[in-house]
Amino acid sequence: MTSLRPHVFLLVLALIGAATEAAGVENAAVDADGKKTYIFRVDHLAKPSIFLTHADWYASSAFSGGGADPLPLLHVYDTVFHGFSASLTQTRAAALASHPNVLAVFEDRVRPLDTTRSPQFLGLRNQVGLWSDSDYGSDVIVGVLDTGIWPERRSFSDRNLGPVPSRWRGACETGPGFQASLCNLKLIGARFFSKGHDAAFAAGGGGINETVESRSPRDSDGHGTHTASTAAGRHAFDASMAGYATGIAKGVAPKARIASYKVCWKGAGCLDSDILAGFDRAVADGVDVISVSIGGGDGMASPYYLDPIAIGSYGAVSRGVFVASSAGNDGPGSMSVTNLAPWLTTVGAGTIDRSFPADIVLGDGRRLSGVSLYSGKPLANSMYQLVYPGKTGGLSPALCMDNSLDPKMVAGKIVICERGSTPRVAKGLVVKDAGGIGMILANTASNGEGLVGDAHVLPACAVGSIEGEVIKAYATSAAAPTATIHFKGTVVGVRPAPVLASFSGRGPNGLTPSVLKPDLIAPGVNILAAWTGATGPTGLDSDDRRTEFNILSGTSMACPHVSGAAALLRSAHPNWSPAAIRSAMMTTASVSNNLRQPVTDEITGRPATPLDFGAGHLNLGRAMDPGLVYDLTEKDYVAFLCAIGYDPKTIQVITHAPAACPSKKPAMEDLNYPSISMTFDAVSASSNQSRTVRRTATNVGASAGAVYRSKVEMPAGQGLQIAVKPSKLVFTAGARQQSFAVTVTAARTAAPEVMGDARYGYLVWSDGAHQVRSPIVVSWMQPL
């Protein structure tokens, strides 16, 4: 960066000042003497030897110019930046700009908080790393199978984008409220699929309600708009949800193109036939990435040949299209993960370092912490009567279900409601309709301490189960219980983060335990992204508020983070297969939080395991250069389907092509996956057991002659012995692939007392520059 000469520096200040005044935004604090804070970048190598430190030099008259007063230094920078900050008049700052050793001067501007903060939390930085190397995902096409899109949002602006990629074969379908002109260089395609929906509901008269739902790509629900902008939304300044998370909203791949496929309909969900049609069309249209934030239906895992997402995604992956899917919101129970096919990338949810705290103050002075996105008129400072309808009213009033509250009991009071059975925001509406003035939404034991913010229709705060029990005990024992709620806005820099979300679907894989699911986790709690103009932030019919952005939580929010990440990696590495892209994300994932401690589980507070979060938390600061990848082809997937016992005709349902299984049945565990999961016989747990799996690593690093050495990391007391042969992999220009075997021996004392629990460790390959990490999970199961 060049230094600013005095006249140039003054011109810059004048322009900044004019722009600031025009925008009505305060750029820098100005004190009573007309001073502002400036940051000076100094050539630190020019320090005269007479000064012991740079601070001594900056504070001296030799630096500030003869008889001038010493500089009022605020900060001295000497690590990543060399120079200082000081509060000065504009005249003196301009004079210092002419100093021969001052390289640049910056006005200390008040910057807004990041809104969709998750890209930065994932390790993405402007002008460097994966964002820069991928040109922000430019020209990669992300297909979003969801509830459609609200195209007018700033997140879908096509400003400064180039022509639509020539390979694009899609269309912009029209319908009520959706003209072809709404598509642009950003939203390059939009389609809707309703035939399955129409057929399913025709007999019962429950078809599309065209008074609230457009028979077009337009999103009347909000979910699709939110996920699309999370994956690939453009930068939108001054974004917020009613004042929460104010700042700059942006997707993970801001310059990627979006194609919207409306396969889900408001109030009726997503029909399998429409989902498959969406997959089919998206691949034919030419998308590079497909994002599917759609769950597994009734909570039961269907065989792969009966699962439309598994089938549709196989067709996509076999043609080079990366597919990300959500892991489901049925955690924290074991085997709650959905979307289990090994060609899918299955994404669980974690927190980021941002929260929306609210405090509950009880009449006895105790203060308890919760979260809230309530944005209306706050409660006055006075205390209000507190009531818990579940004390004598039974389950329905405790859950604040429709028509369950007696207005005589709750009018003018803060009401304690328990989570469960009905939507969280709907409970607040029940309280409001009964005359309640506020609500405390308490987790039950099954929810633990996991909290998500909601844009409630009345003053309300969510608390964990421990705090909930404290509040309920007070409400039922005090003679005249009272409380109030204080809303504290947006807080960033929360520690620890990430934390595995309590609702995130957990393993093991209920269909094929040899494939560890979920694959990894990504930000999925309190994520701000674009929103529909057809409904309020709660999604309730009675909520007449409208907002450009909304804050939602779920694995649906985590999935598009990985879809956007795949777009960046595809742009940076156009020759990588979907499996290679997934491998890069998994083997570089973080298993530590921002306290440099193990990622914990929100439900227990204890360290999470690979059964909970797969390979760890997405870390895009490292994924662009993973060193090694575990690649997979159609042949590998067919061998896997043969290994699980599917016959050729069943396999053809998935692969769309005839398949012939080898005479010797392959081993499921040998699928060349970035994680390793193996099961032992629970009946034979009284004796030592051993199993060997094989993997092949491909060197994608810059050095063709890399040498990788193995290391096994394992918590103490696992009772496992893990051997890797060979323990060293030598790659050359002519040998980019090397195979190895991992043998796990479990002592008879290793088997856990509780069936379904597991032991785990990590295999790490390192060449000194890369750390290629794979989780190893060992579980014991009853034989079929």
Secondary structure (H, E, C), 138-175 = CCCEEEEEECCECCCCHHHCCCCCCCCCCCCCCCECCE
What is the structure's pLDDT at 25? 27
CA pseudo-torsion sign 269, 274, 278, 280: positive
Identify the CATH homologous superfamily for domain 6-107.
Answer: Peptidase S8 propeptide/proteinase inhibitor I9 (3.30.70.80)
The CATH number of domain 357-489 is 1.10.630.10: no
What is the structure's pLDDT at 17? 36
What is the structure's pLDDT at 85? 76
Q: What is the dihedral of CA 226, 230, 231, 234, to 10 degrees?
A: 110
Catalytic residue annotation: 146, 223, 556
Among candidates 291, 353, 294, which has minimal Cα distance to 526?
A: 353
Q: What is the dihedral of CA 25, 26, 32, 34, to 10 degrees?
A: -100
Query: Which residues of the chain, if any, have pLDDT below 50?
Result: 1-32, 80, 109-115
What stretch of H or E contains 182?
none
Measured distance CA(325)–CA(555) in Å, rounded: 9
Measured distance CA(452)–CA(11) in Å, rounded: 47
Query: Could you identify the residue written with the tokens 């608390």?
Result: 463
In the chain, ranges of CATH 3.40.50.200 domains: 118-353+498-620
Q: What is the dihedral of CA 315, 317, 321, 325, to 10 degrees?
A: 100
Name residue 606's amino acid: R
Among candidates 723, 712, 500, which has minimal Cα distance to 591?
A: 500
**Token pair listed for 157:** 């602006």
The 3-state DSSP class for residue 508 equals coil
Name residue 697's amino acid: A
In the chain, ranges of CATH 2.60.40.2310 domains: 671-781
What is the structure's pLDDT at 302? 82
The strand order across the sheet containing 628-629 reads 628-629, 689-699, 737-746, 720-725
Among candidates 385, 390, 423, 420, which has minimal Cα distance to 406?
A: 390
Measured distance CA(181)–CA(125) in Å, rounded: 33
In the chain, ranges of CATH 3.30.70.80 domains: 6-107
Among candidates 329, 302, 286, which has minimal Cα distance to 142?
A: 286
What is the structure's pLDDT at 239? 94
The CATH number of domain 118-353+498-620 is 3.40.50.200: yes
Q: What is the dihedral of CA 369, 372, 377, 382, to 10 degrees?
A: -20
Domain 671-781: CATH class, spelled out: mainly beta
Question: Are 237 and 248 spatial neighbours (Cβ–Cβ below 8 Å)?
Answer: yes
CA pseudo-torsion sign 126, 132, 134, 136: positive
pTM of the model: 0.84
Measured distance CA(517)–CA(523) in Å, rounded: 17
Query: Could you identify the residue written with the tokens 């509901």?
Result: 201
What is the structure's pLDDT at 566? 98
